[in-house]
Amino acid sequence: MTEPLFNVLVSDIRCEYLLDNQNYPWIIGFSGGKDSTLVAQLVFEALLNISPSQRNRPIHIVSNDTLVESPLVMAHLRNVQAQIKTAAENLSLPITVTTTQPDMRQSFWVLLIGKGYPSPNQMMRWCTDRLKIQPTSNYILDRVSKYGAAILVLGVRKTESSSRRASIEKHKNILLFDTKKTKSCPKHQDG
């Protein structure tokens, strides 16, 4: 009988976390939606299957407050983040939970009204870079650059769109999450 996919992914994440050849911190992009929540859950499960003495790699769960989200969405995100932070602390997991915001000079309304940028569209998607990517990049540079690199862990659906599927195929780490070719990893001794 085939092992459930969830368990296979937890095992693969555990193996990746325990790799001896690098110890880069992980940055989990977390929106509070179903994809990023599943990734966070998988990482939690993997960490719980690792002895506390081997939980040496820092993990940062990073959310973005674009300053244009619905107050209800942000309240939900803050609530979920608080639950994650409490659980990580209670379970002694090496997880930091944070929220980034764009520099005020790069905020949506300053760029749209103040500088006259066109409304974001398929051809001109300046908002993702300014409101999410740059603040997250600044967080990484400020907090984890001492490690020389970081591993970004994102939850995205291949079926969301054809362009998303092509982008995932281009950038995915084949060794980690290609569920059709899951790697077997050496069993690590806990202790």
Order the strands of the 95-100 sheet from edge to edge.
95-100, 59-64, 26-29, 151-153
Residues 190, 51 contacting (CB under 8 angstroms): yes
Nearest CA to 99 out of 86, 80, 112 is that of 80
Could you report the per-residue pLDDT of 143-188, keeping only the tens digit for each?
888 888 899 898 877 676 677 667 667 766 544 443 443 444 554 4
Rounded to whole angstroms, the Cα distance separating 116 from 124 reads 13
Q: Structure pTM?
A: 0.82
Q: How far apart are CA 140 and CA 150, in angstroms?
A: 8
pLDDT in tens, 7-53: 999 999 999 999 988 889 999 999 999 999 999 999 999 999 999 99
Asked if residues 101 and 53 have their Cβ atoms less than 8 Å apart, the reply is no
Q: How far apart are CA 36 and CA 31, in angstroms?
A: 6
Query: Which residue segments constitute the domains of the chain, with CATH numbers given?
Result: 5-101+148-177 (3.40.50)
